[in-house]
Homo-oligomer: A and B are copies of this chain.
Amino acid sequence: MRDNFHDDLDRIGATLIDMTGLVASAMSMATDALLDADIALADSVISADAKIDGAYQDLEERSFELLARQQPVAGDLRTIVTSLRMVADLERMGDLALHIAKIARMRYPNSAVPDELRETIREMGQVAERIVVKTGDVVAGKDLTLASELETDDDVMDALHKKLFSVLLFQDWPYGVETAIDITLLGRYYERFADHAVSVARRIVFLVTGEMPRTAA
């Protein structure tokens, strides 16, 4: 039989997995809102962020309560402390999806993304979603092989990010400075989103192996 403490610990793990789902959905909708200039979808992402923030605060409070009440040791303690850091990454990923939705909203009824960059942004959105779904699986299954796949996915994101800049810097960029700013920020948001997901996966590796994860620069 499980005791209350381990039920609480399981609930923290379940909340983290739920949050990866919320964040994946936010990112998927934000990319669609951006490419289709869909303001209703953008607004959905913006209002759904409160749910992610709520999950974050709730998990934080429960973790502190658990730490104070139960004085967990060794592995349990490490799990709780690491969860507190993973949830901060996930909350930030929600913010980044929110920032993308806000750019979609700001440029409505136009799309912020010019035609020749649509495909690259679409791919960045797909990679971001794939990364966070895998991150959820890593959290759920403590699968180290899957965690190392995320490093490769992150390299794909970095390559797409570079590609974005190379189009921006191609001589005679015809879309003006405003669009260049939007694309620069969008590129940064997708790239940081992936970085945070990789950071969550690295913390799982740390929990399983006891080895400190590499620092994301």
Contacts and interface: CB of A to CB of B under 8 A. Distances in A.
A173 B98 CA distance: 28
Number of copies: 2
Q: Is the interface of A mostly helix, strand, loop or mixed?
A: helix
Interface string A59-78: 01100100110010110011
A175 to B, nearest CB: 9
A81 B85 CA distance: 10
Interface stretch (A1-9, A21-29, A177-185): A177-185
Contact of A181 (B61, B73, B180): B180
Contact of A184 (B57, B77, B184, B217): B184
A181 B178 contact: no
Given A68-B73, A77-B67, A84-B81, A215 B53 contact: yes
17 contacts: A53-B215, A57-B212, A57-B215, A60-B212, A68-B74, A71-B71, A71-B77, A81-B81, A84-B84, A84-B85, A85-B85, A95-B217, A168-B177, A177-B177, A180-B181, A185-B188, A188-B188
A129 interface: no
Interface of A: 53, 56-57, 60-61, 64, 67-68, 71, 73-74, 77-78, 81, 84-85, 88, 91, 95, 98, 165, 168-169, 173, 177-178, 180-181, 184-185, 188, 212, 215, 217
Q: What 6 A-B pairs are tightest by C-beta distance, nearest first? A: A184-B184, A173-B177, A177-B180, A181-B184, A180-B180, A67-B77
